[in-house]
Structure 1
Amino acid sequence: MTEMVFGTVASKPGEPVLPKWWRTVDKWALSAIMMLFLIGILLGLAASVPLAERNGLTQFYYVYKQLFFGSIALITMILVSMLSPKHVRRLGVFGFICCLLAICALPFIGTDFGKGATRWISLGFASVQPSEFLKPGFVVFSAWLMAASFEVGGPPGKRMSFAVTVLIAFLLALQPDFGQACLILASWTLMYFVAGAPMLLLAGLAGGVVGAGFIAYNSSEHFARRIDGYLNPEIDPRTQIGYATNAIQEGGFFGVGVGEGRVKWSLPDAHTDFIIAVAAEEYGLILVLAIIFLFMIVTVRSFLRLIHERDPFIRFAGTGLAALFGMQALINMGVAVRLLPAKGMTLPFVSYGGSSLVAAGIGLGFLLAFTRTRPQGDISDVFGNENRGG
Structure 2
Amino acid sequence: MTDMIYGSVPARTAEPILPRWWRTVDKCTISCVLILFALGILLGFAASPPLAERNGFGHFHYVERQAVFGAVALCAMLVVSMLSPTAVRRLAALGFVGAFVALALLPVLGTDFGKGAVRWYSLGFAALQPSEFLKPVFVVVAAWFIAASQEINGPPGRTWSFALTVAIVAMLALQPDFGQAALVLFGWGVVYFVAGAPLAILFAVAGAVVMAGSVAYSSSEHFARRIDGFLSPELDPTTQLGYATNAIREGGFFGVGVGEGQVKWWLPDAHTDFIVAVAAEEYGLVLVLALIALYAGIVVRSLLRLTRERDPFVRLAGAGLAAMFGVQAMINMGVAVRLLPAKGMTLPFVSYGGSSLIATGIAMGMLLAFTRTRPQGEIGDILRGRRRW
- Fold similarity call, TM over 0.5: yes
How far is the alpha carbon of 1:380 from its aligned partner? Answer: 3.1
TM alignment of 1:361-376, pairs within 5 A: 361-376=361-376
How far is the alpha carbon of 1:152 from its aligned partner? Answer: 1.1
* Paired amino acid for 1:141: V
How far is the alpha carbon of 1:379 from its aligned partner? Answer: 1.2
> Secondary structure at 2:180's aligned position in 1?
helix
> Secondary structure at 1:374's aligned position in 2?
coil
CA distance in 1, matches of 2:153, 2:387: 31
> Secondary structure at 2:273's aligned position in 1?
coil
Q: Judge conservation of contact 2:95–2:137 (CA < 8 Å) in 1.
A: yes
- C-alpha change, 1:22 and 1:377, in structure 2 (3 Å) is farther
Over residues 323-362 of structure 1, what are the superposed CA-to-partner deviations in whole Å (9 max), with x where a residue is unaligned? 1100000000000000000000000000000000000000
Structure 1 unaligned blocks of 5 or more: 1-11
TM alignment of 1:324-335, pairs within 5 A: 324-335=324-335
Q: Judge conservation of contact 1:311–1:377 (CA < 8 Å) in 2.
A: no
How far is the alpha carbon of 1:378 from its aligned partner? Answer: 2.2
Structure 2 unaligned blocks of 5 or more: 1-11
Indicate the residue corresponding to 2:249 in structure 1.
Answer: 249
Task: Give the fraction of aligned pairs with identical amino acids, expressed as a percent.
Answer: 67
Indicate the residue corresponding to 1:202 in structure 2.
Answer: 202
The answer to whether 1:66 aligns with 2:66 is: yes
CA distance in 2, matches of 1:267, 1:148: 47
Indicate the residue corresponding to 1:344 in structure 2.
Answer: 344
CA distance in 2, matches of 1:125, 1:247: 32
* Paired amino acid for 1:63: V
CA distance in 2, matches of 1:377, 1:251: 50
CA distance in 1, matches of 2:301, 2:239: 37
Q: Judge conservation of contact 1:95–1:137 (CA < 8 Å) in 2.
A: yes
How far is the alpha carbon of 1:285 from its aligned partner? Answer: 0.1
Indicate the residue corresponding to 1:138 in structure 2.
Answer: 138
How far is the alpha carbon of 1:282 from its aligned partner? Answer: 0.1
TM alignment of 1:247-326, pairs within 5 A: 247-326=247-326
- C-alpha change, 1:377 and 1:243, in structure 2 (3 Å) is farther
Aligned length in residues: 378
> Secondary structure at 2:372's aligned position in 1?
coil
How far is the alpha carbon of 1:382 from its aligned partner? Answer: 3.3
> Secondary structure at 1:386's aligned position in 2?
coil
How far is the alpha carbon of 1:177 from its aligned partner? Answer: 0.3
Over residues 272-294 of structure 1, what are the superposed CA-to-partner deviations in whole Å (9 max), with x where a residue is unaligned? 00000000000000000000000
How far is the alpha carbon of 1:303 from its aligned partner? Answer: 0.8
CA distance in 1, matches of 2:378, 2:125: 47
Indicate the residue corresponding to 2:42 in structure 1.
Answer: 42
CA distance in 2, matches of 1:106, 1:56: 29
Indicate the residue corresponding to 1:113 in structure 2.
Answer: 113
* Paired amino acid for 1:357: L
* Paired amino acid for 1:161: S
CA distance in 1, matches of 2:257, 2:210: 43
- C-alpha change, 1:13 and 1:336, in structure 2 (3 Å) is farther
- C-alpha change, 1:377 and 1:172, in structure 2 (3 Å) is farther
CA distance in 2, matches of 1:13, 1:383: 34
Indicate the residue corresponding to 2:30 in structure 1.
Answer: 30
CA distance in 1, matches of 2:379, 2:197: 21
TM alignment of 1:161-172, pairs within 5 A: 161-172=161-172
Indicate the residue corresponding to 1:8 in structure 2.
Answer: none
CA distance in 2, matches of 1:13, 1:61: 49
TM alignment of 1:88-127, pairs within 5 A: 88-127=88-127
How far is the alpha carbon of 1:262 from its aligned partner? Answer: 0.2
- C-alpha change, 1:202 and 1:383, in structure 2 (3 Å) is closer
- C-alpha change, 1:295 and 1:187, in structure 2 (3 Å) is same
Q: Judge conservation of contact 1:191–1:320 (CA < 8 Å) in 2.
A: yes
Q: Judge conservation of contact 1:299–1:322 (CA < 8 Å) in 2.
A: yes
Over residues 191-246 of structure 1, what are the superposed CA-to-partner deviations in whole Å (9 max), with x where a residue is unaligned? 10100000111111100000000001111111111001111110000000000000
Q: Judge conservation of contact 2:381–2:387 (CA < 8 Å) in 1.
A: no
Q: Judge conservation of contact 2:169–2:185 (CA < 8 Å) in 1.
A: yes
- C-alpha change, 1:237 and 1:88, in structure 2 (3 Å) is same
CA distance in 2, matches of 1:111, 1:359: 20
Q: Greater CA deviation, 241-250 or 306-315?
A: 306-315
Q: Judge conservation of contact 2:120–2:130 (CA < 8 Å) in 1.
A: yes
CA distance in 1, matches of 2:387, 2:128: 53
Q: Judge conservation of contact 2:381–2:388 (CA < 8 Å) in 1.
A: no
- C-alpha change, 1:214 and 1:319, in structure 2 (3 Å) is same
Q: Judge conservation of contact 2:81–2:367 (CA < 8 Å) in 1.
A: yes
* Paired amino acid for 1:167: A
How far is the alpha carbon of 1:151 from its aligned partner? Answer: 1.2
TM-score normalised per structure 1 = 0.95
- C-alpha change, 1:253 and 1:159, in structure 2 (3 Å) is same
> Secondary structure at 2:347's aligned position in 1?
coil
Indicate the residue corresponding to 1:236 in structure 2.
Answer: 236
> Secondary structure at 1:196's aligned position in 2?
coil
